[in-house]
Structure 1
Amino acid sequence: MLSELAVRQAKAKDKDYKLSDSEGLYLFVAKSGRRSWRLKYRFAGKERRLILGAYPELSLKEARDRKCDARKLLAEGRDPGLEAKKAAIARAMSASNTFEVVARNWFALQEDRWTPVHARDVISSLEKEVFPWIGGLPIAELDEPIVLSVLRKIEKRGAIETAHRVRQRMSAVFVQAIAEGLAARDPAAVVGKALKPVPRGRKRPAIVSIEALHVMIRKTEAEPASPLTKLASRFAALTAQRLGAIRCMAWGEFENIDWDGDGLCPEALWHVPANHMKLANDLKQDEKFDHLVPLAPEAVAVLRTTKQLTGRGPIVFPSNRSARVP
């Protein structure tokens, strides 16, 4: 068996040579002077060689430890050389699969499900709050303290809700990485309770009585706005629908209304397309999510009046610039 002294004194010669240790382990000395530990073994009836590492970076003791590891693999019927190649590939994949790379892949998979506004909010929050700190690190090497340190930076600005939202998005990225075999766990899932709790939101102003609603409507009617604006406000009060849907409302969305008469239309309906509703992008294209709004006689009366003003165009409440644009 080799000694540390013999290994240290191994110098280059006119040609390559080796110094044997035990059980196939030897020190290979190249004529260039480079020294490396190698292991000769047999697998599947063939003689094979495995480079364990360079000397002096890998000491004699460490080389013997690696030899023992290789012998254990052989006892299990596994090829140490093949296992070493697989480990090298895994290390390379880990280095290339940084948090930012995985996060952008996750975002590309999810983007179509979201509205453009929400999608921009998601990716911009990661670009601003996460990528500058850990975007370049292999996702498999990230742990709870690292993730928490990123979120603490957000907390220090007083942006508590943002910290919680970013944590949720980071967790989704880790789940994607786990599914693809790029990470073993989700550290973002653990740190949620370590964050400051989201403060209770203040109650938004709301009208909760009929009397107050009457006052607001009378004040709205008294405002010096255009007739079309007042009609739109009146229609909103009568239907309690989202203003975005009312603003984009087209004449073709109404059913069972007699536009030429002034009689009652008990089956009058407003057929709101799903793409005008607050839904995920994939649901906006599904007619099953269209919304039907029964219209009271007062709402029908508002529409009949409005049709005299804008009925020649497609939009019920068009912009001042174009009759074809909401």
Structure 2
Amino acid sequence: MALTDTFVKQVKHKGSVIGERYADGGGMYLRVKAAGKYWRLDYRISGKPQTLALGVYPEVSLAKARQRRDKAREQLADGINPSEAKREEKLTKANAAANTFEAVAREWLDKTSNKRADATQAKVTNWLEKDVFPGIGRMPVADLKARDVLDKVARKMEARGIHESAHRIVQICSQVLRFAVATGLVDRDVTADLRGALVSVNTTHYAAITEPKQVGQLMRAVAGYAGHPTTAAALRLSPLVFLRPGELRAAEWAEIDLNAAEWRIPGARMKMGVEHLVPLSRQAVEILKAVQPITGHGRFVFPSIRTGERCMSENTINAALRGMGYGSDVMTAHGFRAMARTILDEVLGERVDLIEHQLAHAVKDANGRAYNRTAHLPARKEMMQRWADYLDGLRGESTGGAVK
């Protein structure tokens, strides 16, 4: 006879050492002991008797116990041992609890620290500790939803009027979640669903010199820079490769094939998360060959002056420009990209799609599909060489054509 709610509530322990057993059907029963009332399920796997704990009354009601029994019997029908499935579920929950957003973020900070200057590492850590961890830090990363990042992080920052920082913080959260995807903790980066949800901010354009005559003056100043050799090399390479400053300063020798005159930057280091191929002009190869005896024994092409374990500081190129007399309102490290984009299009008449490819912007074909990293590579190589030759020409204009 099946049990009733009234019976389960009123039944008392009668003194048996192992407790009294009251069957409900389907192998489930209530075990009543002096310490409490326990739901159990007896079943067999390969002919061997086993028992599954279904919970403790009254936390687990009769109806809930029956639901758990039915689930277990369905597992048995599918050839699954309910006890093993329960252990795996507990382990999964334990792992999820251990892999909170904060735990994953701190691991990401540690694993990627060599790609950031000390000041940047401290700044990103502070942002996370101040604006992210209080809201979502304790949440298992696998349970995180886009709405959590929006409501518990971004909206609170927007309420304080720091809209640009809110965008930056969401980007950092995205990097943490992409790291979680790579390590198998989550299936996707949920912040991708926040596109368009944040308050828009006015884009600040980096100062750049785009008038050819002034570019020639800049190139002569760059050629005459007398600072640290690796800084000089990074400064000279900057206008030749169109890269974002962070992508250039974290360059690794393993990415560069001087014989093929190619530089392949892995997606993990690119803003768009896609591997980027940079054809190297003859001038770019010469710069890299010149710096190779200095830093080629290590990981980074442009290591930190203080320690070879990190790449060059994010402020190094800008500081060099300041030292040459170019203020932040005139020229910046990032401005070399705008310089190339403007002159290649408006002065040299290069194909816009090739320029966009080389800037590592998303370029799609007529069907809306993204080109792969090797699209139009021969034409891009020719464009990069023409650009390097053009800069050499500008640099030599006021010296009767001689190039330093």
Fold match, TM over 0.5?
Answer: yes
Q: Which residue of 2 aligns with 1:220?
A: none
Going from structure 1 to structure 2, the CA distance change for 1:238 and 1:201 (only over 3 Å counts) comes to closer
1:178 equivalent to 2:178? Answer no
Q: CA deviation at 1:26?
A: 0.4
CA contact (8 A) 1:274 1:283 kept: no
CA contact (8 A) 2:234 2:249 kept: no
Counterparts of 1:86 and 1:152, CA distance in 2: 37
The SS at the match of 1:247 is coil
The one-letter amino acid of 2:233's match is V
| 1:241 pairs with one of 210, 217, 222 | 222
Going from structure 1 to structure 2, the CA distance change for 1:27 and 1:185 (only over 3 Å counts) comes to farther
Q: Which one scores higher on RCO, CA 8 angstroms, separation ≥ 6?
A: 2
Deviations 1:256-286 (A, max 9, x none): xxxxxxxxxxxxxxx7269997524352787
TM-score by length of 1: 0.67
The one-letter amino acid of 1:5's match is T
Q: CA deviation at 1:24?
A: 0.7
Deviations 1:262-321 (A, max 9, x none): xxxxxxxxx7269997524352787858775778697xxxx9xxxxxxxxxxxxxxxxxx
Counterparts of 1:273 and 1:284, CA distance in 2: 14
| 2:51 pairs with one of 42, 46, 49 | 49
Counterparts of 1:291 and 1:41, CA distance in 2: 72
Counterparts of 1:241 and 1:192, CA distance in 2: 40
Q: CA deviation at 1:103?
A: 0.8
* Consecutive unaligned residues in structure 2, runs of 5 or more: 239-244, 264-283, 288-391
Going from structure 1 to structure 2, the CA distance change for 1:97 and 1:275 (only over 3 Å counts) comes to farther
1:272 equivalent to 2:233? Answer yes
Q: CA deviation at 1:128?
A: 2.3
The one-letter amino acid of 1:95's match is A
Q: Which residue of 1 aligns with 2:132?
A: 130
TM-score by length of 2: 0.55
Counterparts of 1:285 and 1:119, CA distance in 2: 24
CA contact (8 A) 1:272 1:291 kept: no
1:30 equivalent to 2:10? Answer no
CA contact (8 A) 1:160 1:197 kept: yes
Going from structure 1 to structure 2, the CA distance change for 1:182 and 1:249 (only over 3 Å counts) comes to closer
Q: CA deviation at 1:137?
A: 1.7
The one-letter amino acid of 2:222's match is Q
CA contact (8 A) 2:223 2:236 kept: no
Q: CA deviation at 1:146?
A: 1.1
The SS at the match of 2:65 is helix
Counterparts of 2:30 and 2:221, CA distance in 1: 83
Counterparts of 1:239 and 1:60, CA distance in 2: 85
RMSD: 3.6
The one-letter amino acid of 1:100's match is E
Q: CA deviation at 1:184?
A: 4.0
Equivalent residue pairs, number: 258
